[in-house]
Structure formats: structure tokens, C-alpha cells
């Protein structure tokens, strides 16, 4: 179940509000003997985050039943959720020794905000308020292990305006508004969940890159696109900002094996340096100020690679008009 982008803060009864965590969305499947962390791509990240998997196995053992939770894997900084970039060093590590080192040096936690299965009982047809009550019973009202715990209960509050103000002051990406009477619809983008963003962010697919100029190395700018309803790959703009030197090298390593002779975009585009085209498979997150009238990104800045999300699912995110329903 995915949130739509909201234009305004919803008012009236029946809404609850949460911080929008900056991590990897996962479905966590836990039994006493096994725990898996599935991304939207269906990839299991439990090997990359063994401390979370261990905490989930212990939780299921204490509960005496299997559990399926919806939540976000977040990096921790001084025990608090940190920016997504802090997770990137862990997302593809396979060597057990390196994984163990990362778990110590770059710790993570699962912030759980929904409970979908409690033992043999599916909960997706139950309203959010009931699922939340059951989640609090399973995790405890403060989560497991306090500030150092690997399982956290997602924060909620009734005052959306106050939470949005906190988000602006703290530099969060934004907040989520959820209908308290809404059931859970797997795989569906719904207006019962709304994203209210302090800054514009969304995923795009890389269709190419330009050659670097002057002292810059590896690549110049990423050429970004998204898929429309008819499956056409639409150009959205380019970004060269937000990269470290190591980030440029990593992006070049990802893109070079995907080289192709022709542009993947449906329209001809002009670039300010020679372009290299790639198969549109690499998904990146970009922050930007707004969309222009001709459908281009204004002031786009690279945030990170999002290989937890399928490229074919990347669309231009519509803005849903929020209300009391």
C-alpha cells in the first residue's frame, strides 16, 4: 500500500499523522526461526541487516506466533533515524565480515508502522486504528529496546499541522496522513494515505548521462525520466548536483554495463555535453523545487540510488487533493 502525494494537509476527524521516514520500505516476515525483509522489488535484505532480522526472530519467539509487519529500515545516528544516504553503504554488502562491521559502524533499525498478519489472523481487512492497536500490543508502545533497539514503533499524532511544522524545522522530507478507518490494500497507491512533503522528492530512472567537463570525473549529469500511463519513457530533466567523488564513480560503474546505442526517451532531447545512453534500469531519488510548465524538473539534486524500487513502476507522482474523505 503506497501513499499519494497530497496538496494540502487534510482536516477533520478520522486522520492520523506520522513522520515520513527516509529509509527502505520493507515487508518484514518473522517467525521464531526465520526473518525476511522484502523490498518493493521482492529482494530479501535480511542478510544486509542481520541485527534487524535477529530482533524480528526474537520478537516472534516472544509472541509465540508468526508476524508480518510493514515498515521502514532506517539508518541510526545517535540512536535516531537518519538520512537515507547513511544506508547506502549497507544495501549491497554480501561478505559476512563486512556486513558485521557495517552493523556496528552504521547501525540500523526497523520502524514498524503497520501489522498485516498476527499469527494465523490476516489484518488487512481491519481498519488502521485496529491494526495500530494490535501493533502496539506486539511491540509495546515504545518499541523494543528503547533508543538502542532495532525494532521501533512508528510515531503517530493527531495534530498534523504541528507535526508538519516540526518536519520543516527538523529538515525532514515530510509527513504522512492516514485515514484511521482505512483497510490495507497491498500494492495499491491510495488517497487514504497522503504524503505531504516539505521538499519535493521522487524517484526517476536514468536513461543516460553526459560526459564530464573540466575537472569533473566519471560523468557529467544524469538524464532522468519516468514512465507514463502508456508505458512511454518520458524525459524529466538532468542533474549533476548532489554527488561526492565516490558517488560519481559508483554511478559510472552501475551505468557503463547498461550502454546502448540509441536514446531510450520517447522524445529527442538536447544536452549541453555529448550524451551516453543506457538501458533505463537504475532508479535514483531526486529532490527538486518544482515541476516547470513544460514538464521539466527545476533545481534537481541527486539524493541516492533506490534499487529497492522497480524501474517500470516509476511514474510522475500526481498530487492528490486531500479532504475529509
Could you read off the pLDDT of 187-236 as tens digits, one per residue? 999 999 999 988 788 999 999 999 998 889 999 999 999 999 999 999 99
DSSP string, 16-66: EEEE---SEEEEEEE-SS-EEEE-TT--B-TTT-HHHHHHHHHHHHHHTS-
At residue 320, the pLDDT reads 55
CATH superfamily of 22-153: DNA ligase/mRNA capping enzyme (3.30.470.30)
Q: Which of 20, 45, 195, 287 is catalytic?
A: 20
Residue identified by cell 555535453 is 273
At residue 215, the pLDDT reads 85
At residue 143, the pLDDT reads 65
Helices (H) and strands (E) in the chain — how many of each? Answer: 5, 21
At residue 322, the pLDDT reads 45
Do 69 and 134 meet the contact criterion of CB atoms below 8 Å apart? no
Q: Does the domain at residues 1-21+155-198 carry the CATH identifier 3.30.1490.70?
A: yes
At residue 198, the pLDDT reads 82
At residue 16, the pLDDT reads 97
Neighbours of 92 (CB within 10 A): 10
Average pLDDT, rounded, for the chain: 91
At residue 145, the pLDDT reads 52
At residue 161, the pLDDT reads 93
Which residues are within 8 A (CB) of 192 and not within 5 positions of it... i.e. 6 or more apart? 178, 179, 182
Domain-wise residue ranges, the chain:
1-21+155-198, 22-153, 200-319
CATH superfamily of 200-319: Nucleic acid-binding proteins (2.40.50.140)
| 287 belongs to the catalytic site | no
Average pLDDT per consecutive 10 residues, the chain (325 residues; last block may be shorter): 91 94 94 94 93 95 96 86 79 86 88 97 98 95 65 94 88 91 95 89 96 91 97 97 93 97 96 96 92 91 91 85 42
How far is the C-alpha of 75 from the C-alpha of 72, rounded, in Å?
A: 10
Strand partners, 15: 179
Q: What is the pTM of this model?
A: 0.73
Amino acid at each position: 500500500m503506497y501513499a499519494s502525494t497530497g496538496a494540502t494537509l487534510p482536516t477533520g476527524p478520522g486522520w492520523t499523522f506520522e513522520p515520513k521516514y527516509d529509509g527502505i520500505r520493507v515487508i518484514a516476515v518473522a517467525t521464531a526461526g526465520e526473518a525476511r525483509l522484502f523490498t518493493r522489488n521482492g529482494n530479501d535484505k535480511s542478510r544486509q541487516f542481520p541485527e534487524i532480522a535477529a530482533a524480528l526472530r526474537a520478537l516472534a519467539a516472544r509472541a509465540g506466533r508468526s508476524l508480518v509487519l510493514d515498515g521502514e529500515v532506517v539508518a541510526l545516528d545517535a540512536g535516531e533515524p537518519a538520512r537515507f544516504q547513511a544506508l547506502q553503504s549497507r544495501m549491497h554488502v554480501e561478505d559476512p565480515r563486512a556486513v558485521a562491521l557495517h552493523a556496528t559502524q552504521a547501525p540500523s533499525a526497523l520502524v514498524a508502522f503497520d501489522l498485516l498478519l498476527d499469527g494465523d489472523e490476516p489484518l488487512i481487512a481491519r481498519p488502521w486504528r485496529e491494526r495500530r492497536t494490535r501493533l502496539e500490543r506486539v511491540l509495546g508502545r515504545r518499541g523494543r529496546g528503547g533508543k538502542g533497539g532495532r525494532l521501533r514503533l512508528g510515531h503517530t499524532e493527531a495534530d498534523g499541522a504541528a507535526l508538519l511544522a516540526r518536519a520543516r524545522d527538523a529538515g525532514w522530507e515530510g509527513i504522512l496522513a492516514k485515514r484511521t478507518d482505512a483497510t490495507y490494500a497491498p500494492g495499491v497507491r491510495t488517497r487514504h494515505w497522503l504524503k505531504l512533503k516539505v521538499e519535493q522528492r521522487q524517484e526517476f530512472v536514468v536513461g543516460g548521462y553526459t560526459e564530464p567537463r573540466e575537472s569533473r570525473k566519471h560523468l557529467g549529469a544524469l538524464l532522468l525520466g519516468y514512465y507514463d500511463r502508456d508505458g512511454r519513457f518520458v524525459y524529466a530533466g538532468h542533474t549533476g548536483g548532489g554527488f561526492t567523488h565516490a558517488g560519481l564513480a559508483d554511478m559510472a560503474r552501475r551505468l557503463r554495463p547498461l550502454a546502448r546505442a540509441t536514446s531510450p526517451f520517447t522524445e529527442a532531447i538536447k544536452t549541453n555535453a555529448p550524451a551516453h545512453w543506457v538501458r533505463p534500469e537504475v532508479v535514483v531519488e531526486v529532490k527538486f523545487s518544482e515541476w516547470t510548465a513544460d514538464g521539466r524538473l527545476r533545481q534537481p539534486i541527486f539524493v541516492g540510488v533506490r534499487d529497492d524500487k522497480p524501474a517500470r513502476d516509476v511514474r510522475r507522482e500526481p498530487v492528490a487533493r486531500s479532504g475529509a474523505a
